Amino acid sequence: MLIQCLNGLVYGALLFSLASGLALMFGLRRIVNFSHGALYMLGAYLGYSIATKLGFWPALVLSALALAGLGALLDAAVFRPLQDRDPLIILLVTFGLALIAEDVVQTIWGNDTHSLAMPALLAGIVELPGSSFPVYRIAIIAFGLLVAGGLSLWLKFSRVGLFVRAASFNPTLAAIQGVDTDRVSLMVVAVGAALAGASGVVAAPILSLAPSMAADILVDSFIVVVVGGLGSLTGAFITALILGQINVLGIVFAPEFTALLPFVIMVGVLIWKPTGLAGNRV
Partner 1 sequence: MTPLLHYDAVEACYGHAQILHGTSFSVDKGASVAILGRNGVGKTTVVNTLFGIARLTGGTIRLAGKPLTRPRPYSAARAGVSVVIQGRGILQNLTVRENLLLGAATRRRGPWNLQRVYELYPVLQERADAPGTALSGGQQQMLALGRGLMANPDLLVLDEPSEGLAPVIVDELAVVLNRLRAEGTTILLIEQNLSLVERVAEDFFVLSKGRIVDQGKIAATGRAELQKHIAI
Interface residues with partner 1 (CB under 8 A) are 159, 162-163, 165-166, 169-182, 281-282
List of residues 6+ apart from 79 with CB closer than 8 A = 25, 29, 31, 33, 90, 185, 189
User: Smaller CB distance to partner 1: residue 182 or 220?
Assistant: 182
Nearest to 2 by CA among 241, 203, 240, 245: 245
- Specify the DSSP class assigned to residue 85: S
Minimal distance, residue 168 CB to partner 1, in Å: 8
DSSP 11-30: HHHHHHHHHHHHHHHHHHH-
3-state DSSP assignment of residue 134: strand
Looking at the Cβ atoms of 107 and 177, the one nearer to partner 1 is 177
Q: How far is the CB of 114 from partner 1 (least distance, A)?
A: 43
The residue among 140 and 174 lying less far from partner 1, judged by its C-beta, is 174
Closer by beta carbon to partner 1, 154 or else 263: 154
Q: Which residues contact 67 (CB under 8 A, 6 or more apart)?
A: 39, 42, 43, 46, 193, 194, 196, 197, 198
Closest to partner 1 by CB, 156 vs 273, is: 156
Min CB(163)–partner 1 separation in Å:
7
Taking the least distance from each CB to partner 1, the nearer of 108 and 173 is 173
Q: How many residues are there in the chain?
A: 282
For 83, 96, 112, 185, the CA distances from 75, given in Å and listed in that order, are 10, 15, 31, 7
Strands 125-128 and 131-134: antiparallel
| Residue 169 CB, nearest approach to partner 1 (Å) | 5
CB 183 → partner 1: shortest distance, Å?
9
| C-alpha span between 122 and 87 (Å, rounded) | 43
CB of 278 to partner 1, least distance (A): 11
